[in-house]
Amino acid sequence: MQRFPRRVLFLAGLVLIAGLGVASGIWAVKHASDQQSSDNSQKASETRNQADAGDLELIDLKLSAESLEAIPEDELLVNTQGIANSLMHGDLLLRSGNAAMALRLYRQESDGTTVPETIDVSYRIALCAETLGDDAEALAGYQSVAEMDANGQLREYALLGQARVLHRQGHIAEASGVLQRWVLSQETTHRLSPHITGDALYLLSRITAAEVLEQTATRLWEPDAVCLPRSSFDPGRYLSRTRSSEEVLRSEHPVGIRIVHQLAESTPDTVTLSGHLARSTIVRVIGDLSQQTGWPVELSPLAEDMLRTVTVSVDFEEQTANLILDWLLAPHGIVWDFHDSTLRIQMDQELAADQQDTFRWQRAERVLLAALFGEPEHLDAPIAYLLLGNLSFQRGQFQTARRHYEHILQAFPRISLQAEAWFNLAKVELAERNLIQATQALQGAMDAGRGQPLESAALLLAGQTALELDQPHDATRPLMRAVTLATDDDVRGLSLLSLASAHLLNGHPERANVALMEDRRILQAEPYRDRAAFLASLARFRAASTPARRDRDGRALITSMSHLPTDRNLGLSHLLLTAEAYTEVGLQHLATSLIENNLSGAPPSEIRERLVFLLIDTLIQDREDERAEALLAGIINDSSPGESDEARLRLAELYFRQSRLGLVETSCRNLLSEDVSPEVRVRALQLLGRVYSDRGDRERAVLCYSGVLPQ
């Protein structure tokens, strides 16, 4: 065996020792790293547990009596903690928008063989079903929770859920009845959070207002239509306040209805009541109210027969008499009126249709105001202000509606309801013919409503408003964007027709034809086919380059005008184009009758002014000087300064045509002595120069033509 030198063995030993040292060092570092990672994980877990402690407190596990008896005490603690952990995980999923995952997790808890179903799990399953749009399961779940948790706080949230689902299904009367019965009789042994009462009041106010407002126009571009609040549902909002309520002993209240305070003038609006009655007929409740307030009651026979068969339990604190009467009577189709210190109660069917509408509007307004006065800081307060503004708008109270919309914009600048408030404010300005302010409000709606359905409607109205202002150049941009963004066929069709009208008013018939070819599917169908055919014929007629083609396109234009509808859905700009078309094909008498038939009901605007002057020019061409002079005199007396200056100049031109040179000179000198626009000044000097030229006064005529007013 070959022997290695001692030096080689010594070096090999050193290498081995060094290797063992490195390995032990690596193990020590790894062990320290693992220990530190374990410590950090433990600290993070403690921090996470502390952060989630609040969420665990929100989960109130209530097991049925049979389930409690069937589970051993040691297993109950384990099961309760497991349910709490699962519910906390499911709540996080539900708040993050993953309702389907949360529903599967909740159902695992309710379907398990070892874990009993709890009221909390049932409530959350119903909440997930409502979020996912399964109304049948949600309604059944809420009804089950309300029966299982007869006096708890979850019962109140279950009643709110029932009302929401019934309202979404269109059962407005049933939804209102659920909320009115609960608000009127808060029978509970728990100290209710004020948020629950606020949620109930605001939901009741929304349902009552929707019953009235949903009967109005729903197409946003129509003059009478306003935006309703968008339906949105945040399930996390109804999880964060379901914490355990402490039980309290109710103090004994006097039985009956008593007055808390009232003003000198005793009316249902000014008298505040408290009431505590066991289940009894509504007739008895009304009788107690009448006895306390001193108001005589007149009941119609039909209403009395109805109220004698209906029972209710009453338990409320400090509510005005008008709301109590609404909550007692409205679910049964009964209305009340207070006149000459007498309370009159009758069935809704006994009234005329307009009276029924009046009572519904008044009731909706009362409930909205009660919600705002009771919970002014509630999350749904902006919605209540918007609905109040809509009610005022539909009743023609534009100043009140403006105040409500402006309050939303100023007091709630960060809410998603800004777009609706801007849009409805623009509708108020349009109704009052404040076109400049309407344009600004529509711009606010477009900025705040990007990506929403109302954006395309706001763009359409902005373009049509620019046309009303006789600014077709400014109308093209919003109308082109409306065509691009519109998902509704009506908005797209109206936008295309308005865009073609703007191009024709701008003198671009080729562009108008391109716009009309954008979506032929919509424009070839009713109600847009005849209007599109007219605009296309007018565009081809104005773009004709040869006499033969102009003659052919003129005949087609006359044919298309014979099929035009008589409404003004496209505004006065479309009427102006029709009148111009009649004039261009030599049918001035038809242009005159068209303008005269539509001018009387047209609101004042720049495009209306242009129509009036077109009518005057047509009358002058037809030698009807007296009618033209009468129209000009009316404009001078009633119109704005700019329009009046144009009318005075047109009247001077009419005098010149009649050779009444003295009146022409006087009119022109009076006009030039005032602050008028440069265009009007140049035209007045030229007309005055023609007067001096006809008189042979060449020196003064030259001065006038050079832009100098002679002495």
What is the 8-class DSSP label of residue 260? E
The pLDDT of residue 478 is above 50: yes
What is the 8-class DSSP label of residue 550? H
pLDDT at residue 52 in the model: 41
Select the highest-mean-pLDDT range: 98-112, 161-175, 413-427.
Answer: 413-427
Q: Is residue 426 part of a domain?
A: yes
pLDDT at residue 331 in the model: 79
Query: Over the stretch 180-191, which tens digit does the pLDDT of each residue have?
Result: 766 666 544 333
pLDDT at residue 4 in the model: 47
Compute the distance between CA of residue 197 and CA of residue 330 in angstroms, rounded to an integer.
Answer: 19
* Residues 559 and 627 grouped into a single domain: no
Tell me which residue range forms the domain holding 150: 65-238
- For residue 311 the two structure tokens come to 């029972």
Instruction: Label the pairing between strands 297-299 and 256-261.
Output: unpaired
Q: Is residue 431 part of a domain?
A: yes
pLDDT at residue 78 in the model: 46
pLDDT at residue 54 in the model: 39
Instruction: Report the Cα–Cα distance between both ends of the chain, in Å, rounded.
Output: 142
587: helix, coil or strand? coil
* Residues 512 and 645 grouped into a single domain: no
The pLDDT of residue 427 is above 90: yes
Residue 276's H or E segment, with its range, is strand 272-281
Compute the distance between CA of residue 133 and CA of residue 128 in angstroms, rounded to an integer.
Answer: 9
The pLDDT of residue 652 is above 50: yes
pLDDT at residue 567 in the model: 64
* Residues 675 and 581 grouped into a single domain: no
Query: Percentage of residues in the chain with pLDDT exceeding 70?
Result: 80
Compute the distance between CA of residue 561 and CA of residue 581 in angstroms, rounded to an integer.
Answer: 9
pLDDT at residue 76 in the model: 44
- Contact in structure between 513 and 520 (CB atoms under 8 Å): no
CATH, residue 469:
1.25.40.10
Total domain count for the chain?
Answer: 3
- Contact in structure between 134 and 124 (CB atoms under 8 Å): no
The pLDDT of residue 53 is above 70: no
Average pLDDT value over all residues in the chain: 80
* Residues 442 and 538 grouped into a single domain: yes
Q: Which residue has the higher pLDDT, 87 or 677?
A: 677
pLDDT at residue 437 in the model: 94
- The model's confidence at residue 149, banded by pLDDT at 50, 70 and 90, is low
Question: How open is the CA angle 516-519-520, to the nearest 5 degrees?
Answer: 75
The pLDDT of residue 582 is above 80: yes
Q: Mean pLDDT lowest for which of 68-82, 157-171, 224-238?
A: 68-82
pLDDT at residue 177 in the model: 76
Q: Which residue has the higher pLDDT, 533 or 599?
A: 533
The pLDDT of residue 545 is above 90: no
Q: What is the mean pLDDT of residues 636-665?
A: 82
Query: Over the stretch 506-530, which tens digit does the pLDDT of each residue have?
Result: 999 999 999 999 888 988 888 889 9
Query: Percentage of residues in the chain with pLDDT exceeding 90?
Result: 21
* Residues 496 and 637 grouped into a single domain: no
Compute the distance between CA of residue 233 and CA of residue 687 in angstroms, rounded to an integer.
Answer: 69
pLDDT at residue 193 in the model: 47
Query: Over the stretch 681-691, which tens digit does the pLDDT of each residue have?
Result: 888 899 889 98
Residues in the chain, total = 711
* Residues 82 and 204 grouped into a single domain: yes
Q: Which long-range contacts (CB under 8 A, 24 or more apart) does 304-307 make?
A: 306/332, 306/333, 306/334, 306/347, 307/281, 307/282, 307/283, 307/332, 307/334, 307/345
* Residues 424 and 516 grouped into a single domain: yes
Q: What is the mean pLDDT of residues 434-463?
A: 92
pLDDT at residue 246 in the model: 46
pLDDT at residue 253 in the model: 60
Out of 564, 585, 606, pick the residue that ends a domain: 585
* Residues 112 and 179 grouped into a single domain: yes
Query: Over the stretch 342-389, which tens digit does the pLDDT of each residue have?
Result: 999 999 888 888 888 888 888 888 888 888 887 888 888 999 999 999
Query: Over the stretch 226-261, which tens digit does the pLDDT of each residue have?
Result: 988 887 788 888 875 544 444 444 455 667 788 888
Q: Is residue 332 part of a domain?
A: no
* Residues 192 and 133 grouped into a single domain: yes
The pLDDT of residue 563 is above 70: yes
Compute the distance between CA of residue 704 and CA of residue 691 in angstroms, rounded to an integer.
Answer: 10
Q: Is residue 535 part of a domain?
A: yes
Q: What is the mean pLDDT of residues 545-550?
A: 88
Q: Mean pLDDT lowest for which of 427-436, 484-493, 619-628?
A: 619-628
Q: What is the mean pLDDT of residues 130-144?
A: 90
* Residues 578 and 429 grouped into a single domain: yes
pLDDT at residue 244 in the model: 46
pLDDT at residue 112 in the model: 54
Half-sphere exposure of 378 toward its Cβ, with a 13 Å CA cutoff? 26
Q: Is residue 47 part of a domain?
A: no
CATH, residue 688:
1.25.40
Q: Mean pLDDT lowest for which of 45-59, 447-461, 621-635?
A: 45-59
pLDDT at residue 27 in the model: 46
Out of 561, 585, 609, pick the residue that ends a domain: 585
* Residues 560 and 627 grouped into a single domain: no
* Residues 411 and 465 grouped into a single domain: yes
Out of 191, 218, 238, pick the residue that ends a domain: 238
pLDDT at residue 641 in the model: 64
Within a 10 A sphere around the Cβ of 675, how many other Cβ atoms?
Answer: 7
The pLDDT of residue 326 is above 90: no
Rg, Å, the chain Cα set = 39
Q: Is residue 499 part of a domain?
A: yes
Q: Which residues contact 410 (CB under 8 A, 6 or more apart)?
A: none
pTM of the model: 0.77
Compute the distance between CA of residue 644 and CA of residue 125 in angstroms, rounded to an integer.
Answer: 70
The pLDDT of residue 63 is above 60: no
The pLDDT of residue 116 is above 70: no
Q: Which residue has the higher pLDDT, 605 or 246?
A: 605
Q: Which residue has the higher pLDDT, 214 or 319?
A: 319
pLDDT at residue 382 in the model: 92
- For residue 630 the two structure tokens come to 């009468």
Q: What is the mean pLDDT of residues 603-615?
A: 80
Q: Is residue 36 part of a domain?
A: no
pLDDT at residue 198 in the model: 76
Compute the distance between CA of residue 492 and CA of residue 694 in angstroms, rounded to an integer.
Answer: 56
- The model's confidence at residue 49, banded by pLDDT at 50, 70 and 90, is very low
pLDDT at residue 26 in the model: 46
Q: Is residue 14 part of a domain?
A: no
- Contact in structure between 688 and 665 (CB atoms under 8 Å): yes
The pLDDT of residue 58 is above 50: no
- Where are the extended beta strands (E) located within 324-381? 334-339, 342-347
- The model's confidence at residue 217, banded by pLDDT at 50, 70 and 90, is low
The pLDDT of residue 66 is above 60: no
